[in-house]
Structure 1
Amino acid sequence: SPLQISDSVRQLLPELHAQGPHFITAHFHERSYLLTQGDTLRLPFVMKGVEPGDVIRLNRASLIGSRDLTLKAAAPPPKLKSRTASTTAITDDTPTKDAQIRLYVCRAVVMGIDSEPMRFLQKTKRRQRKVKVVKSKHKHTILRIKEVRVKSLEEIEA
């Protein structure tokens, strides 16, 4: 299905495409990261099922931009305050983050899995002589941003 692009985005997208280096605000597990091409990203968790050398497409972004122009995603639909047995869905025609996937390309290469040094934390309770030593050694996934590019109008409409 063809992507519905507003007139203002259709007018300013060629300028954004032509202006170099682009940045993107990508989202992983409700955390946002401001990224450009060549950045190293250290995620505070281990991504399952990836190995060093794998290429990952980052498809959740709220901002795409360059030095002078920024394209911001429309606000997502509001979350319901309580869970109910039946709800009515109200559809909104404004594009959200998912519709913006076709406007850009962002790829990252998995560099590896890193672990921090062992940390020891001594925990005590009041009026107790016993000291509990808690050990922690967290692992992180390291990504290198390989490509951040805004597509042209011809690529989007094709």
Structure 2
Amino acid sequence: MKTRKIFTSALCVALLASPIPTFASNEVTQAYSTCLITNSSEKERLDLMLWVFSAMASHPEAKRAFEINDAVIDKAISNAGATLTNVLRKCRNEAKAVLNAGLSIGSGFDALGYQAMSELSNNAATRAKMASIGEHMDLSVLKPSTP
């Protein structure tokens, strides 16, 4: 049991604490990504994660499983819209440079989302719930098979 907990904790830490991938493919998108991250607060990034969670929870199967109502989803969307407007206002020049380069305005949001998810996953309660998957796994499948 202890080995299972250690393994799943290590697995979750590895998945959640992996190095930040390089999302930006050029200097324009790198500057834009950096601007989005440095000009958003941890609270704003949490609002964005709540929006993503709410959007995913609106899937019919997820909606039944989590019993999330439309008012909660609408509030998360409203908060995220205000957050994105605020952050884009601060990164107006970088966003314009991205558009002028013929790139998508969403090109910097991968890095922002990664930062937000990393912060969300850093919470002790979140890490504990992520690691608890080990209680429901059969790790014997990793043992060498005998001929």
TM over 0.5, shorter chain: no
Q: Name the TM-score, length of structure 1 as normaliser.
A: 0.26
Q: Which has the higher helix share?
A: 2
Q: Which protein has greater RCO, CA pairs closer than 8 Å, 6+ apart?
A: 2
Q: Which has the higher strand share?
A: 1
Q: Name the TM-score, length of structure 2 as normaliser.
A: 0.27
